[in-house]
């Protein structure tokens, strides 16, 4: 459905991050999930990226996860907290069939993840998908005015899940225009933190941990599809992040309806960011050192 004029350019790798900021919007769900505990069920030893103490003196570890070994754990955690997002999460959060459909769609695509753990329970996570782009779009994709026919075809049996998945896929498709290709692309599919541990900067640290793993794997660029206005502002404040494209939530149409129009301010948009990872990684190393130093005070 997209008009694609392709051109081959010099080979580079890129990391594309789609970060969903979590903001509670439903008192009932927030109350249930705030008291929930998701125990670490891993039967293997993960690589520990960071270890430090929180203000309450509890130890927290950030660990590199193998999605195949942690498939059930990742689904449990992200189904509970990933969709707790504004505004698109409001559209399908609280609909178990849609939540499970999104999780089932993403599960086989994961390449690696980062998990934050306190007292044997998972309290934060980020998940990544890695793929290769072999050609670069010469022109921006042309999107249909109405996505209804596309959504009716899937990729899942759940309508609400398809509305969200197709919106995100359409947004991310512009990366093929802005990122030099051929390239290796790693997309962050979600960042989530347990409600009782929010406000401590852990989501930011989960992002940086993902940057670190991506850098170690040889990625050259970081791209981010921020589907939350709040998270878009967070990325504007991070080193080297360049806002290359915007999508208005209210412009997305499905069978004549605008599913996100009432879930976000009229002019609200999600932003597509691109960052040269190799150029700016030294800045993130310094930022990481500073953040960890603050936790250890």
**Confidence grade of residue 26 (pLDDT, cut at 50, 70, 90):** very low
Can you give the pLDDT at residue 138?
92
Higher per-residue pLDDT: 257 or 233 = 257
Alpha-carbon radius of gyration of the chain: 18
Asked whether residue 166 is assigned to any structural domain, the reply reads yes
Q: What's the CA gap between 184 and 142, in Å, rounded?
A: 24
Stretch (H or E) spanning 148: helix 148-152
Mean pLDDT in residue range 216-239 = 83
Q: Which of 166-170, 180-184, 282-286 has the lowest mean pLDDT?
A: 180-184
pLDDT for position 68 = 95
Mean pLDDT over each residue of the chain, to the nearest integer: 84
Query: Has residue 63 been placed in a domain?
Result: yes
The pLDDT tens digits for 86-96 are 678 888 888 99
Q: Which domain holds residue 39?
A: 6-295
* pLDDT-derived band at 7, boundaries 50, 70, 90: very low
Predicted confidence (pLDDT) at residue 2 exceeds the cutoff of 80: no
177 located within any domain: yes
The stretch 100-112 carries a mean pLDDT of 91
What CATH code is carried by the domain that includes residue 199? 3.40.630.30
Per-residue pLDDT of 144-162, as tens digits, reads: 999 999 999 999 999 999 9
Tell me the mean pLDDT in the region 199-220.
91
- Distances in Å between the Cα of 260 and the Cα atoms of 28, 119, 136, 182 are 21, 38, 30, 34
Distances (CA, A) of 252 to 24, 125, 260: 23, 28, 7
Choose among 205, 201, 200, 174: nearest CA to 187. Answer: 174
User: So what's the pLDDT on residue 18?
Assistant: 42
Residue 144 included in any domain: yes
Residue 10 confidence (pLDDT) above 70: no
In terms of pLDDT, which residue wins out, 99 or 185? Answer: 99
Count of structural domains, the chain: 1
Pairwise CA distance, residues 152 & 246, whole Å = 25
CA atoms of 107 and 268, how far apart (whole Å): 29
Q: Is residue 1 one of the residues assigned to a domain?
A: no
Q: What is the pLDDT of residue 52?
A: 94
Q: What is the mean pLDDT of residues 46-70?
A: 95
pLDDT at 189: 80
Helix (H) or strand (E) holding 282: helix 277-295
CA dist., res. 265 & res. 268, Å (int): 5
Query: Does residue 150 lie in a domain region?
Result: yes
* Higher local confidence (pLDDT), 8 or 35: 35
- Using the predicted structure, report yes or no on whether residue 5 has a pLDDT greater than 70: no
């Amino acid at each position: 459905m997209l008009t694609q004029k392709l051109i081959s350019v010099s080979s580079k790798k890129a990391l594309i991050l789609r970060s969903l900021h979590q903001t509670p919007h439903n008192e009932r769900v927030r109350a249930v999930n705030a008291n929930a505990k998701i125990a670490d069920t891993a039967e293997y030893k993960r690589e520990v990226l960071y270890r430090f103490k929180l203000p309450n003196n509890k130890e927290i570890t950030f660990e590199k996860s193998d999605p195949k070994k942690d498939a059930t754990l990742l689904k449990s955690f992200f189904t509970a907290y990933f969709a707790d997002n504004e505004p698109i999460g409001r559209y399908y959060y609280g609909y178990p069939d849609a939540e499970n459909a999104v999780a089932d769609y993403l599960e086989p695509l994961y390449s690696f993840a980062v998990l934050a753990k306190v007292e044997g329970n998972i309290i934060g996570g980020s998940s990544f998908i890695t793929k290769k782009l072999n050609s670069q779009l010469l022109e921006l994709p042309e999107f249909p005015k109405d996505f209804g026919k596309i959504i009716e075809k899937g990729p899942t049996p759940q309508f609400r899940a398809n509305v969200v998945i197709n919106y995100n896929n359409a947004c991310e498709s512009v990366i093929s225009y802005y990122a030099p290709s051929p390239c290796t692309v790693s997309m962050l599919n979600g960042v989530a933190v347990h409600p009782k541990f929010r406000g401590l900067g852990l989501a930011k640290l989960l992002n940086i941990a993902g940057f670190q793993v991506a850098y170690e794997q040889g990625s050259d660029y970081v791209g981010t599809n921020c589907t939350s206005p709040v998270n878009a502002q967070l990325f504007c404040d991070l080193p080297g992040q360049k806002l290359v494209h915007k999508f208005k939530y209210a412009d997305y149409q499905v069978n004549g309806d605008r599913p996100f129009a009432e879930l976000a301010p009229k002019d609200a948009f999600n932003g597509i960011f691109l960052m040269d990872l190799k150029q700016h990684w030294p800045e993130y190393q310094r930022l990481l050192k500073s953040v960890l130093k603050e936790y250890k005070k």
